[in-house]
A and B are shown apart, each in its own frame.
Chain A
């Protein structure tokens, strides 16, 4: 596609529920990134893939967060046993190198 596609656009989850957020990067983009943006804050780095390899996961806030990109294209961010503090916009970005990031529109997760 022409841009980075994220689905769903909005997700409401009950506390304790597991959620999976999908990112379709721009075709051919080697690098893929996940960021979390809380209300009134800037995006915060979660994790980074180069092809299927997860090179940096230092930003994942807890072991409830897990990301994968098994075939080096589509990526899924999974959050287990969601908590209210997980409510945020989750942004995915892709890049052909390490500089030209293109962000998707994000998934707004609300945990109730």
Chain B
């Protein structure tokens, strides 16, 4: 049973518009959430994170929102650029769990059209 779910396998957005990538989780013990970006033939690259004590974290064009009551987080990219085209993974870690054990979703492939 998947603890971290990214229900949209793909998303297509026009350059300059907002991209919204969604992630749902089931484990209420998760206390730290991360987004990774992955280009083909490369490893995932850390993008942005959020602790469960916050509901928003912003870094340049990237903002992550956390809704704990809904067990939902989202990544907003604005404005979207063609270079943002990649697979985006949501990941979570359980409070008190092994520090190395991140649980990843299956990813959402974002395509930003010029």
A residues neighboring B (CB under 8 Å): 4, 31, 33, 35, 40-45, 47-48, 55-56, 58-59, 91, 93, 98-106
Contact = CB atoms under 8 A, between A and B. Distances in A.
A48 B53 CA distance: 26
A42 B104 contact: yes
Contacts of A105: 41-43
Given A40-B106, A41-B106, A99-B49, A4 B101 contact: no
B46 A55 contact: no
A88 to B, nearest CB: 13
13 contacts: A42-B89, A42-B106, A42-B107, A45-B98, A45-B100, A47-B100, A55-B100, A56-B100, A58-B98, A101-B102, A103-B44, A103-B45, A104-B43
By Cβ-Cβ distance, the 8 closest A-B pairs, closest first, are: A48-B100, A42-B104, A103-B43, A98-B99, A56-B98, A33-B100, A45-B101, A103-B44
Chain B, interface size category, equals 20 to 34
Contacts of B4: 42
Contacts of B43: 4, 91, 93, 103-106
Given A31-B100, A41-B106, A100 B46 contact: yes
Contacts of B91: 42
Given A42-B89, A99-B49, A48 B101 contact: yes
Nearest to A40: B106
A45 B44 CA distance: 14
Interface in B70-114: 89, 91, 98-107
A59 B44 contact: no
Contacts of B32: 99
A102 B46 contact: yes
